[in-house]
Amino acid sequence: MWAYHSIFYQIYPIGFCGAPVHNDGQTVPRIRKLLDWTDYLSDLGVDSILLNPIFESDNHGYDTRDFRKLDCRLGTNDDFVEVCQALHSHGIRVVLDGVFNHVGRGFWAFRDVQEKKWDSPYKDWFYINFDGDSGYHDGFWYEGWEGHYELVKLNLQNPAVVDYLLDCVKYWIDTFDIDGLRLDVAYSLDHNFMRRLRSFVSGIKPDFALIGEVLFGDYNQIVNDDMLHSCTNYECYKGLFSSFNDMNLFEIAHSLNRQFGPEQWCIYRGKHLMTFVDNHDVTRIASILKQKEHLYPVYGTLMTMPGIPCIYYGSEWGEEGMKAPDNDYALRPCFDAPKPNELTSYIKKLISFRQKSDALCNGSYRNVMITNRQLIFERRTDREQIFVAINAEGTEFTANHGELQGEVRDLAADTRFTMNGQLTMKPYSVQILVFDPDSHPEYDTVTQKEAEQKGEERNIECKTAESYASSDCTAQNTTLSLADLTVVLGSASPRRTELLTQAGIPHVVCPSSCEEHITSSRPEDVVQELAEQKAQNVYTDRLASHPGEPFLVIGSDTVVSNNGKILGKPSSEEEARHMIQSLQDHTHQVYTGVSLIFHDGADTKTNTFFEKSDVDVYPMTNTEIASYLATGEPYDKAGAYGIQGAFAIYVRGIHGDYNTIVGLPIARIYQELKKWIRF
């Protein structure tokens, strides 16, 4: 899911655009103000925008009148179409606020009930009692959301209501090409409605993201394979600011370990929850922190802890705003233009590091060292190990710990040094320490770009195409976008072309015709060798037939490994039977190698890497093995590793990226390509 690797930027449009607090009925294209901010957002590095309510409403947006019409205070649907197109052209996805729990008193169906009472065909769309009366003297009582009777609660157990709302979602996707929804008060929504919504949007747009607003409770109840992809992590929101205010980092360390730690009882491991330091409903972080110096380590923690970071507009330059007892106007101001400062530059740097880091986006979490005012935690994947060191104190601190060993690169300070059991932590600082820095040249482009912006000349040694993730230092400077080049998939696999299509990457298929050869027996080496050979073969042909044209070649290959041995296609039924028997009640590995060759019309860049996923298989009876062998799949797919075929019913679990097993780790490819081209 793309959202798991994104940085979100949240805007409350009615306030941001300077619209009247109450709907005055005047159509003014204020939403077009976002067109003036797209370059700023792109430069900041955010790749997703979350817009709070934009549809026609009585007042604040959560009291909807019409789900199919942009609020007249913001403009017309055509205005918003243009805004979405501009954001997408800058590589920024669009997520809207889905307000499905309630509507405003001006909602067309509720107005019909007010007029016709019992005779209204929409009376069962709401929770109504005609034996009572409302505070507005409607001649009937109705349920309002949590006692707010300007918000009329919808009956989500009524199929007609669900069908109407889903039809509106389809209209938003078809008209505006939105990429996801934030579900308002998801903790109040009917679970069957959320299941139906997930199934519905997946059928229209498979990578459509659903993120719920949840304030309390067990997030697993709604964040799962059947309902939502993510939800707001209010537990860690509170832990972030109060840990620094109370100078007690044990609080946030406990919350993070409780949610994502290595112990089996930790409750949200493998999930990506939306993290934030403020939003449109709570006091801004610059107003709630007791010490303004803590803004830097707070944002440093936000960008390195597990989750999907979301920045609230204006807070990236330290804007203040206090929540009032009776309204949120101070939290939702209008700014004439962005006001970036040193804090903004710091956050921009953090975003760059996070977007390039496998460990920060996907890694496990483990507390290494905790004091009241210092915290060191680890983020780790198979490819990368990072220590994040936080000092909340206003004085320098020297940490002593047995795990502080080895050569590291501090991304924040752009320094390299060797730890020998100690680490010096500067006041109010966050250090992002990457182990084995020579294996991670991807961060070089960040520091070089900063140097160029400051007018400094720096010599950053770039690794060649033969090294891990070859990343040319000038990659960030390209002006080419995805639309400027032809993407060539060097594989005839229908699964791979389906994944590229779902990701919105137009491409042509030109299968390689090279003679494959390998020099290693290690599966991670084999898939990279084969992927590189395929990509090079297709690249040579394309360069000869389309000289001077920019293009990108994607070569890929997949193998299965069991106990370190690569499984090939069996040559006989007996060999196939033995292979299947070796997989059952056991975990085996699927490796996919990818080789990317980018030609901009003059120069060429190459990047080759691999991804691994584990597949856990149920025990199979002899009858089940014989039945599977009869399908013919084992002779074509080395056991179908093979979850897309008949073998799927024997798969107990998958650990890693499903797309790796299908044959194309699309999320990793996207992250790598962002170093070279604009999306």
pLDDT given for residue 450 in this prediction: 55
Checking if the pLDDT of 501 tops 90, the result is no
Distance CA 79, CA 651 (A): 48
pLDDT given for residue 458 in this prediction: 35
Angle (deg, nearest 10), helices 444-453 and 342-356: 160
Which of 255-264, 391-400, 644-653 shows the lowest mean pLDDT across its residues?
644-653
Greater confidence, 648 or 558? 558
CA atoms within 13 A on the CB side of 637: 20
Checking if the pLDDT of 59 tops 60, the result is yes
pLDDT given for residue 277 in this prediction: 96
pLDDT given for residue 211 in this prediction: 97
Q: What is the mean pLDDT of residues 553-566?
A: 86
Checking if the pLDDT of 101 tops 90, the result is yes
pLDDT given for residue 470 in this prediction: 36
pLDDT in tens, 316-351: 999 999 998 888 889 999 999 999 999 999 999 999
pLDDT in tens, 142-194: 999 888 899 999 999 999 999 999 999 999 999 999 999 999 999 999 999 99
**Radius of gyration of the CA atoms of the chain, in A:** 27
**Core vs surface per residue 347-359: b (16+ CB within 10 A) or e:** bbbbbbbbbbbbb
Distance CA 107, CA 103 (A): 6
pLDDT band for 464, please (50, 70, 90 cuts): very low
Checking if the pLDDT of 460 tops 50, the result is no
pLDDT in tens, 358-386: 999 999 999 999 999 999 999 999 989 99
Residue 449's nearest CA partner among 426, 430, 425, 471 is: 471
pLDDT given for residue 422 in this prediction: 94
pLDDT band for 451, please (50, 70, 90 cuts): low
Which of 125-129, 359-363, 386-390, 454-458 shows the lowest mean pLDDT across its residues?
454-458
pLDDT given for residue 477 in this prediction: 45
Distance CA 511, CA 489 (A): 7
pLDDT given for residue 474 in this prediction: 37
Greater confidence, 477 or 154? 154
What does the mean pLDDT of the chain come to? Answer: 89
pLDDT given for residue 475 in this prediction: 39
pLDDT in tens, 209-241: 999 999 988 999 999 999 999 999 999 999 999
CA atoms within 13 A on the CB side of 35: 12
Share of the chain above pLDDT 70, in %: 93
pLDDT given for residue 479 in this prediction: 64
pLDDT given for residue 601 in this prediction: 86
pLDDT given for residue 608 in this prediction: 92
Greater confidence, 653 or 141? 141
Pairing state of beta strands 141-142 and 8-11?
A: unpaired
pLDDT band for 275, please (50, 70, 90 cuts): very high
Checking if the pLDDT of 640 tops 50, the result is no
Catalytic residues: 557
